[in-house]
Amino acid sequence: MRCLDLRTDARVRRTLSPPKVLSFGFALIIVTGTFLLSLPISSDGRHLPLLDAFFMATSATCVTGLTVLDPGTELSLFGQLVLLVLTQLGGLGFMTMGTLIALAFNRRISLRERLILQEAMNYNSMEGLLSLIRRVILYSFVIEMTGALLLSIRWSMDMSLPRAIYFGIYHSITMFNNAGFDLFGAIHGPFSGLSGYVRDPFVNVVIMSLIFLGGIGFVVLSDLIEFPSKRKLSLHSKVVLSYSAVLVVGGAFLIYIMERSNKLTMQPLGEGGSILSSLFQSISSRSGGVSTLNVTDMEHSTQFLLIILMFIGAAPGSTGGGIKVTVFAVLIGAMWAMIKGKDDIVLFQRRLAKDSIIKAVTQTWLALFLVIFVAMVLSVLEDRGFLPLLFETTSAFGTTGMSLGLTSTLTPISKIIICLVMFLGRVGPLTLAYALAPRSTKDLYRYPEGRITIG
């Protein structure tokens, strides 16, 4: 009987493809987090409602940052630490952490585990994969601890040293993992975010750097660190860095233009404060989720711009979500190639493979359909305007965490829907489609080519 059980377990493991393993792994972390957050010790002796615990666990594991409660005032130290661990696991990935433990005990990493890691990291090859994992852990630790040190020094001027160190470590980890959870509700009032530091260039620059470094992806980080010796960047890194720069600068410029005369947001800040806050909102909206301005007070045009930035999101293999900046680059390249009458999509003098183009288009359509469909469903369930509901849905899909104040007031069924969207945004709609789809077989024939009129 024991041998039969072992053979059954082995067959189950073989039938679980890498996308299925990733999906089930994140789901298991969410369930564990829900149990821990629902304990009385997580909220100073009172039982957190199960749905709220589930929502917070999902948001942390999917590194989103949407909250139905204020972590700084409604969670105990234990609850805050549970949220932090879930954020770290969700950001770096449970397979990355598992591989680190296996390597620490000198355990051999199987081919199947390498395939799962390749899927988790969005890496194109298994060559050098374990070396990349080691670098991911090292870079993450160094960046998070550097950010923690800088923030602790700055906040020690505003609070006691032990609290400043705790706040520094906590916010460095959540910002690098693009989760956006903050504890400043305990100081500036619930859901206040970083509004108290809107004019502080030091805090703004440190947190923007953490969000940006977490959002460009570990492959790009590795390329940048090795650039002085190798003197070259991969095509992937060139695309991510160039298009990220365009989105950050372009987004900041548009936010500044639309908000500089808004009396509720930028007008009282002066020229320097307006430029700084424009840049912060542009970087954070791509996946960071924390804000130095009240997003509810922004112009509708600015809110819609933030929806676009949240939908595009961060880079593949990063702690961020969205359709990914490389997909956006492929779509722009396709449009440019069509306008110029070219057959190939060329980026940095490299022709893109057909399967990359098809995958980019598929991922975009799946994401667009998901966001629009969920926003329409929420508009039926909630007595709200469509723009706030679209904003909330896109924020959940892009694992961004920005909100127009709807999250805590949503009906239970709407909260569950948002949790599902956060999960889809983290694992990726295409990954989930691969996980749920039946095993594909290669067609033995091809249909004759046909033409339809386009445009």
DSSP class per residue in 44-106: TTSPPPHHHHHHHHHHHHTT----SS-HHHHS-HHHHHHHHHHHHHHHH-HHHHHHHHHHHTT
Tell me: pLDDT of 207 over 70.
Answer: yes
Q: Mean pLDDT, to the nearest integer, of 98-124?
A: 54
Q: Which of 153-157, 354-358, 434-438 has the lowest mean pLDDT?
A: 434-438
Q: Please check whether residue 399 is in contact with residue 320, taking contact to mean a CB–CB distance below 8 angstroms.
A: yes
- Tens of pLDDT, residue by residue over 40-90, are 999 877 788 999 999 999 999 988 889 999 998 899 999 999 999 999 888
- Give the pLDDT of residue 440: 55
Tell me: pLDDT of 414 over 80.
Answer: yes
With cut-offs at 50, 70 and 90, classify the pLDDT of residue 424. confident
* Cα–Cα distance measured from residue 146 to residue 140, given in angstroms and rounded to the nearest whole number: 10
* Cα–Cα distance measured from residue 162 to residue 170, given in angstroms and rounded to the nearest whole number: 12
With cut-offs at 50, 70 and 90, classify the pLDDT of residue 357. confident
What sign for the dihedral angle of Cα 416, 408, 62, 433?
Answer: positive
- Predicted structure pTM score: 0.87
Residue type, 203: V
Q: What angle do CA 206, 210, 215 make, to 5 degrees?
A: 150
- Give the pLDDT of residue 145: 95
* Residue whose structure tokens are 């509810």: 296
* Cα–Cα distance measured from residue 193 to residue 281, given in angstroms and rounded to the nearest whole number: 12
* Cα–Cα distance measured from residue 190 to residue 452, given in angstroms and rounded to the nearest whole number: 56
Between these two residues, 219 and 85, which has the higher pLDDT value? Answer: 85
Collapsing DSSP to helix, strand or coil, 350 comes out as strand
Collapsing DSSP to helix, strand or coil, 65 comes out as coil
| Nearest residue to 259 via CA among 386, 251, 284, 203 | 251
Between these two residues, 398 and 118, which has the higher pLDDT value? Answer: 398
Between these two residues, 52 and 22, which has the higher pLDDT value? Answer: 52
Residues in the chain: 455
Q: Mean pLDDT, to the nearest integer, of 380-394?
A: 93
